[in-house]
Amino acid sequence: MSLTAWSACDVLAAFRTKTLTPTEYLACCLARIVLVNPKINALAATDFGTARAEAQEATARWQAGQPKGPLDGLPIGVKDLQDAKGLLTTHGSIRARGNLSTTDLPMVARLRDAGAIVLAKTNVPELGAGGNSRNPVWGATGNPFDPNLIAGGSSGGSAAALAADMLPLCTGSDTGGSLRIPAALCGVVGYRPSVDVIAHPTRPLGWSGLSVLGPMARTMDDLILMLSVCQGHDADDPLSCAAPPDRFATLAAVDLKDLRVGYSPDFGGAAVDPGIRQTFLSRIDLIAPHVRECRPADLALGDMDRCFDILRAESFVAAFAEALQTAPESLGPHIAGNVALGQTMTLSDRAWAHLEQTRILRKFNTVMQEFDVILLPTSPVSPFPWSQPYAHVIDGQTSDIYYRWLALAYRGSLAGGPAITLPCGRDPHGMPFGMQMLGAVRGDDALLANARAFETLFAQSETTARPRADLEATPSPRIDPRSIVTHPPILNGGTLDTNQISTAV
């Protein structure tokens, strides 16, 4: 196994024993990026020069036995919706393609304070809208298992970078599945925490818990390590809460034989491809003998689609209505469509949606009294070509809006509990299959402990183990993912700094 395929925990252990230095490890990551990123276009802006300097400093600290923090010298990726000082944060939008961040998002600052090296920004859909990470600034991100297919979104660049062994940890965010969908489609781990866990002080609607920040990794231990660093309170996020710094350091050991497991193949009736449904049910058959109880869970919690439509549209009006009015040419059709949808809604619609979400949460609480964890598919379809904006038809049902194929994930967002997706083998098309797990509201510690136990179970069988992408053996994409760029990124008044811009540009 190459060094870049090592887990973050194994890399850090090697730093501690001085059998590997941050400088050596970074060099391997950079070589890997140069080799495979042109195929999948997962990374946006990069800063190799600063990363090398920081790796040298981290190497000196480890040699002296004085690491800066638990992530000292570990290179990471930051989603291109999140500010990282000294790097472009374009949001995949032509209106921000020259936006050089001067500060860190608090979550990113926590990672830096722990010693992480912010090596790259990871690609997203324009302004994070939708489940396909393609935009006019950086182009499209392909799936490491087949670069012609989607990596998911909006954290698609992060998921693809992890699956391609370019970086060991990446940040993400999740409103309606933006962490979980790409993690599932690329065969990595993505966690949507409860709203109080990771402060999100840039959330436009500060009192809405629909959008959260979260970690992405290849293993549960790596994800828990990253979460331990990221978690915490910020006064500008009224929904975040202070917690002990070691909250996730000593999760309880879980015996699967004690777990009451509920499952639903469609989250109360969402459209699911028959092949995905059968794959999920076959996984349930494999899981059932290992747990105390495994039976269907009734997740018909209310009018979840209409509720999400209104709450999501409300957030788009809040974030983009003014920009759309002053510079409509700078925003794509998805953004304009979401804002227009929101502007057709009334105060009565908004009141109904908030009431319905409250009812959904309370019904979910009642269901969770019967189970310790609920299992579902994460994505209703196998990855499709990235040239296709979204999944138009699923099991004969035509989508009424471009994000409806994300229903298995966004319905969980409405329920209010934490959610995680674990890689669980492959689907009928040979692509990664993601197993989604829902926990009780504010039940992060228990869900993480349960997920770690399931990860151990899944690793014991080739059918359910995490699949590995082989990009060296994968042919180049039929269509260059950079070919859809219409407005390349700019820096310093329009000139490109090749030390700061990704090799994919």
pLDDT in single tens digits along all 505 residues of the chain: 799 999 999 999 999 999 999 999 999 999 999 999 999 999 999 999 999 999 999 999 999 999 999 999 999 999 999 999 999 999 999 999 999 999 999 999 999 999 999 999 999 999 999 999 999 999 999 999 999 999 999 999 999 999 999 999 999 999 999 999 999 999 999 999 999 999 999 888 999 999 999 999 999 999 999 999 999 999 999 999 999 999 999 999 999 999 999 999 999 999 999 999 999 999 999 999 999 999 999 999 999 999 999 999 999 999 888 888 888 887 878 788 889 889 999 999 999 999 999 999 999 999 999 999 999 999 999 999 999 999 999 999 999 999 999 999 999 999 999 999 999 999 999 999 999 999 999 999 999 999 999 999 999 999 999 999 998 887 789 999 999 999 999 875 433 333 333 333 2
Closest CA to 436 of 199, 234, 177: 177
Letter for the amino acid at 141?
T
Q: Determine which one of 178, 228, 240, 315 is catalytic.
A: 178
Q: Which of 39, 79, 240, 502 is catalytic?
A: 79
Confidence (pLDDT) at 492: 53
Tell me the pTM.
0.96
CATH architecture of 3-458: Alpha-Beta Complex (3.90)
CA dihedral 192, 195, 197, 199 (to 10 degrees): 110
Span between the terminal Cα atoms of the chain, in Å: 29
- Give catalytic status of residue 101 as yes or no: no
User: Which pLDDT score, from 0 to 100, does residue 328 have?
Assistant: 85
Alpha helices in 70-207 (DSSP H): 106-113, 156-163, 180-186
Instruction: Give, in order, the Cα–Cα distances in Å from 110 to each of 69, 314, 324.
Output: 10, 30, 33
- Is 154 one of the annotated active-site residues of the chain? yes
What are the percentages of helix, strand and coil residues in the chain, rounded to 5?
A: 40, 15, 45
CA distances from 414 to 281, 310, 463, 474 (A): 24, 12, 31, 38
| Integer angstrom CA distances of residue 155 from 225, 332, 430 | 19, 18, 22
Catalytic-residue membership of 382: no
Q: How many CB atoms lie within 10 A of CB 99?
A: 17
Q: What angle do CA 167, 170, 176 make, to 5 degrees?
A: 140
- Sequence-ordered list of residues with C-beta below 8 angstroms from that of 100, at least 6 positions apart, any chain: 86, 87, 88, 89, 491
Query: Which pair of tokens denotes residue 115?
Result: 């010693």
Q: What is the DSSP string of 423-445?
A: EEEE-TTSSEEEEEEE--TT-HH
Domain definitions of the chain by residue range: 3-458
Tokens (6 digits) for 412: 């969980």
The catalytic residue among 101, 154, 211, 228 is: 154
